[in-house]
Amino acid sequence: MDAGKFCSGCLRDQEQNDAAAWCLDCQEDVCEACAKAHKRINPPHKVMPLNDENVKGPSFNHMIQFCDVHTDQKYVQICTQHDQIICELCVEEIHANCNAVKPIENFSKESENGAWIKVLQKEMINLDGDLHTLMRIQTDMIPQLKERKKEILKQLSFVRQQIDAQLDKMENDLIADLSKKYNTCKEMIEQSNHSTANKRSDLQCWIKNLTKTEESRDQVQIFQAIKVIDRKLKEEKSSMNKSQQISIEFHTPDINDLLMNFMSFGEISVIECVNVELLQALKHDQPMNESEISNVSDSSLREGNIQCITAFSTPIFGTDVEIERGCFITNNRLLLLDIDQPFLYVCSFDGSGVETIQVDQKPWDVALIDTVSAIITFQNKGYRILDLSTLTLGQYLKPEAPGCYAVTSSQGQIWIDTGSFAIIQIDINGNVLRTLTTKHEIKSICSNDTGYIYYVSNEVQNDKIYCIKAGGEERDNNLYVSPIVMTPCIFNSASLRINAT
């Protein structure tokens, strides 16, 4: 029995039983008990021991013979335009407009399968090593995850301590404020009480003196006493009516609102990001060496003499970055556009030395103008000129056109697709010098030193390259398109050009 392999059927029933065989019909591992059950099915399933060297062999044969899209159809044709082997239904439904479809038998006779087998074997060995590395890295993730959990628990404890400390401070501040206001109120009450006691003492004296004044029978003095005492009594009664109750209150916040605004210490989330360690360890992105390339003489792949010299993965720019357009610039650098986000990237040919330029909206296309400047288009907003020495962008310029989309530049001539079946030639200040109409909606555009302009259409299933001559005449250009390139796209460059014949 293979260590680590469990019966697929038992796993679905939440049981872990060691796998002992492979069911060719179900294409899954089975234990001894399930193997017997599979053999008793009518018609019986073909079950092979795991130690049989041919186990899973028919699965491989099925994979290489039957179509991925139409799983009950066999591969019978090859579309050299898309470099895909296809079934008859694929020819009718997907590749109906392709003009480079022929039987596999005819093509396989022309191919040098031996050279490609060696290349594939090397790539599979490299991939196997990469998968082994990935398994090691994934295994290491569990203890790393455990350590991360401990760190987060410490962070939670720290947050709790900070919150407790803040609550203690708030409580102590309120207690101190309560004591201060209590003492203030107490002092005010004591002062009022002392004043009231003085008034009562005065009143008692007035009572005694009024009696004496009455006994004196001095009518003038009695009249004066009556008037003064009456006024004083009214004043004291009025003052007493205005006497205020002094107390202290605690205005508590609404507990529900308080809890609503303080729902948690934080948030735990699962982060999936690029595994830098894995990217550094992978081998299969390395280009084939010259000897491997020279062994491949298949005409459908060698025509055009295109070779991969260097390559790198876009995660070096960040997550969810898709690069579709760019151009070569000075000092052996690339200027690349993110098609989904408002960013430009400048880097060396090997992807090192990345510099990120943020813009206010997603760019559409880019082209090199000269050794010190490049032009970037922004659809309806126009275009901006990038200073390549400082990597700073100029202001928006908007020519008299519906929009600015695909762009190319050669020999000082700047051509921009307006998005409405027309291209315009402009100067660097946005003045329109010339307008040419096109037969098709443009996806990408490129010009050469002779004044010829080439473009590919944005139409689905249209893989042609169109040429506009210097005089404005447009024609289909029967240029070779590699079957590896499923959607033609022109990479603007001062050194990568298509020369007219």
Question: Is the pLDDT score of 466 beyond 50?
Answer: yes
Strand order in the sheet with 101-103: 84-86, 77-79, 101-103
Q: What is the mean pLDDT of residues 89-114?
A: 78
Q: Burial, 38: exposed, middle or buried (Cβ in 10 Å; 0-12, 13-18, 19+)?
A: buried
What are the pLDDT digits (tens) for 331-347? 889 999 988 889 999 99
| Cα–Cα dist 141/135, whole Å | 10
The chain-wide mean pLDDT, for the chain, equals: 82
pLDDT grade for 291, boundaries at 50, 70 and 90:
very low
The answer to whether the beta carbons of residues 333 and 346 sit under 8 Å apart is yes
Q: Where are the domains of the chain?
A: 8-109, 118-261, 303-477
State the pLDDT at residue 329.
92
Dihedral sign for Cα atoms in the order 185, 188, 192, 197: positive
Q: Is CATH 3.40.1380.10 correct for 303-477?
A: no
Q: What is the mean pLDDT of residues 38-42?
A: 92
pLDDT grade for 108, boundaries at 50, 70 and 90:
low
What are the pLDDT digits (tens) for 408-431? 998 889 999 998 889 999 998 999
What are the pLDDT digits (tens) for 214-264? 888 889 999 999 999 999 999 989 888 888 888 899 988 888 888 877 777
Q: What is the 3-state secondary structure (H, E, C) of 54-83?
A: CCCHHHHHHHHHECCCCCCCECCEEECCCC
Question: Is the pLDDT score of 500 beyond 70?
Answer: no
| Cα–Cα dist 35/98, whole Å | 47
State the pLDDT at residue 4.
61
Dihedral sign for Cα atoms in the order 311, 313, 314, 318: negative
State the pLDDT at residue 175.
95
State the pLDDT at residue 26.
86
Question: Is the pLDDT score of 139 beyond 70?
Answer: yes
Question: Is the pLDDT score of 38 beyond 90?
Answer: yes
Cα-only R_g, the chain: 44
Amino acid letter for position 422:
A
pLDDT grade for 34, boundaries at 50, 70 and 90:
very high
| Cα–Cα dist 372/366, whole Å | 14
Q: What is the 3-state secondary structure (H, E, C) of 411-440?
A: CCEEEEECCCCEEEEECCCCCEEEEEECCC
State the pLDDT at residue 358.
92
Cα 68 to Cα 215, 377, 426, 478, distances in angstroms: 130, 40, 48, 32
